[in-house]
């Protein structure tokens, strides 16, 4: 982010994750880890009596018997909804921690707090909105140099003390999770193309959609296990669409769908492929990404006569933007 830009929701999430790591990262202090918090879930829906509740990030400390639930609003923060905040307001802690599988030795006394995370420039508007609508959620605001809590205190006095003073941030935050529902096709292509090349170089000639999604989603591979299925499904659908598009033109010599085994096959590039072949694959990648960025249309699948099934029809129906 530059001084003129705001953080996206995904960037806010990545900053918070870097505050939960065992080591202090260069950009921000790992205060949540230091205070005993662990990541419970990311973007995961929990169905409760008052409806479906989906926080962007849930952290919990068994020792402190506290759970912190973050609702993040990136960029303009104009999409705060009353319905969503009402659901958080009326949430039963005991019911939520039971259904979300949060470890609590003393569920009756466990405290859960909802926190709204926004860009600093939206702080005033968000405070006014809460006053107007009668909400009391602490606001965690992310500036280009500091992160601080305001409006209401946190139940965790130590975290509250640190965030009231404000926690300094330095430079661009690290990226652990690369995609969310807002990710563009070219964001996915920048990671999927090298992964396919990597498969070829280690001698893997076929891969499934699930495999490549698991491999490209996060810089820390296992992290995708705690991400909720909704956002993952959106990414899976985009990857499916991306692979189809790739195999139609720029990558038609390198990538094909195997309907029998329901996997994608890699051709031409392999562990011993010639430097010129590898270079051509890289060039195809650049052309493909340029096509995505410039929104140049892809060819319609002309090879399938009318009334017959395309080999891609075995893939699930796509749900993409």
Partner 1 sequence: MKVDYLSEMNALFDEVLYSNHRKFKNQQIQATNQLKSYVVENHLDSINLAQSYDEKVIEFFKEINSGLTKYEFKINITKDENLFINKSDEGLMFIDTTNKRFWKIHSVAKAEVSDYFYKVLTKRKLFDQIWLPIPFLLGLPKYGELYGVGMSFTEELKDDEFDNLYPEKSHNLSMNIRRMYVHQLLDLMKGSAMKEVMGVNKISILDPSSDDNENYIIDDITYFGKITARGTSYGKHSYILDELLHNYEKSISSIENDYSLHFDNVLSTIEGQPIEITLNRKEIDLHKLVTVIFSGNKPFNLWGMPQWRNENYCKVNAVDLHNGNYGKTIDFEIFPNLIRAYLPQGTCGNSISRLLTNIHQSIDATATMKGVNKSDFFTII
The full DSSP string for 118-129 is EEGGGHHHHHHH
Closest contact distance (angstroms) between CB of 188 and partner 1 is 11
The residue among 117 and 285 lying less far from partner 1, judged by its C-beta, is 285
Among candidates 172, 177, 253, which has minimal Cα distance to 9?
177
Nearer to partner 1, 39 or 311 (CB): 39
Cβ 200 to partner 1, closest distance in Å?
A: 8
Least distance between partner 1 and beta carbon 84 (Å): 25
CB contact set of 6 (below 8 Å; sequence gap of 6+): 74, 75, 76, 119, 121, 122
The distance of closest approach from Cβ of residue 18 to partner 1 in the complex, given in angstroms and rounded to an integer, is 8
CB of 197 to partner 1, least distance (A): 5
Residues that bind partner 1 (CB under 8 A): 2, 5, 17, 20-26, 33, 38-40, 171-172, 174-176, 186-187, 189-191, 193-195, 197-198, 200-203, 215-216, 219-223, 225-226, 271, 275, 278-279, 282, 285-286, 289
**Closest Cα partner for 69 from 109, 30, 113?**
113
Number of Cβ atoms within 10 Å of the Cβ of 152: 17
Q: Closer to partner 1 at the Cβ: 275 or 302?
A: 275
> Where is 48: in which H helix or E strand?
strand 38-48
Least spacing, CB of residue 247 vs partner 1, in Å = 17
CB of 310 vs partner 1, minimal distance in Å:
28
Minimum separation from the CB atom of position 1 to partner 1 (A): 9
Nearer to partner 1, 170 or 318 (CB): 170
Radius of gyration for the alpha carbons in the chain, expressed in angstroms and rounded: 23
How far does Cα 275 stand from its chain's mean position?
A: 35
| 30/126 with CB nearer partner 1 | 30
Residue number with CB closer to partner 1 (155 or 186): 186
Report the residue number, 264 or 281, with the smaller CB distance to partner 1.
Answer: 281
Cβ(212)–Cβ(241) below 8 Å: no
Separation between Cα atoms, residue 294 and residue 260, nearest integer Å:
34
Strand partners, 48: 51
Instruction: State which residue, 74 or 135, has the beta carbon closest to partner 1.
Output: 74
User: Is residue 276 classed as helix, strand or coil in its secondary structure?
Assistant: helix
DSSP state string for 221-275 = GGGGGGB-HHHHHHHHHHHHHHHHHHHHTTTTTTEEEETTTTEEEE-S--TT--H
Among 227, 203, 200, which Cα is nearest to 214's? 227
């Amino acid at each position: 982010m530059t001084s003129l830009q705001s953080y996206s929701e995904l960037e806010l999430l990545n900053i918070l994750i870097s505050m939960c790591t065992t080591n202090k990262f260069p950009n921000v202090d790992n205060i949540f880890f230091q205070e005993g918090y662990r990541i419970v879930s990311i973007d995961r829906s929990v169905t409760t009596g008052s409806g479906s509740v989906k926080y962007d990030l849930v952290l919990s400390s068994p020792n402190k018997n506290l759970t912190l639930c973050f609702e993040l609003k990136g960029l303009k923060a104009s999409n705060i909804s009353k319905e969503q905040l009402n659901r958080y307001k009326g949430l039963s802690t005991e019911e939520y921690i039971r259904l979300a599988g949060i470890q609590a030795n003393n569920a009756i006394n466990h405290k859960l707090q909802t926190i709204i995370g926004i860009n600093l420039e939206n702080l005033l508007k968000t405070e006014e909105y809460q006053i107007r609508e009668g909400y009391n959620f602490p606001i965690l605001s992310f500036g280009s140099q500091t992160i601080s809590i305001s409006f209401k205190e946190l139940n965790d006095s130590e975290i509250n003390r640190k965030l009231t003073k404000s926690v300094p941030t330095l430079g661009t935050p690290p990226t652990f999770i690369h995609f969310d529902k807002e990710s563009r096709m070219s964001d996915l292509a920048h990671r999927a193309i090298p992964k396919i090349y990597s498969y070829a170089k280690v001698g893997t000639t076929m891969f499934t959609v699930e495999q490549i999604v698991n491999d490209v989603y996060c810089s820390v591979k296992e992290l995708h296990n705690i991400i909720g299925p909704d956002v993952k499904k959106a990414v899976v659908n985009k990857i499916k669409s991306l692979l189809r598009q790739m195999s139609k033109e720029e990558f038609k010599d390198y990538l094909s769908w195997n309907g029998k085994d329901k996997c994608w096959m890699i051709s031409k590039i392999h562990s011993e492929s010639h430097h010129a072949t590898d270079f051509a694959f890289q060039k195809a990648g650049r052309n493909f990404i340029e096509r995505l960025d410039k929104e140049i249309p892809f060819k319609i699948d002309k090879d399938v006569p009318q009334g017959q099934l395309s080999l891609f029809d075995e893939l699930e129906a796509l749900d993409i933007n």
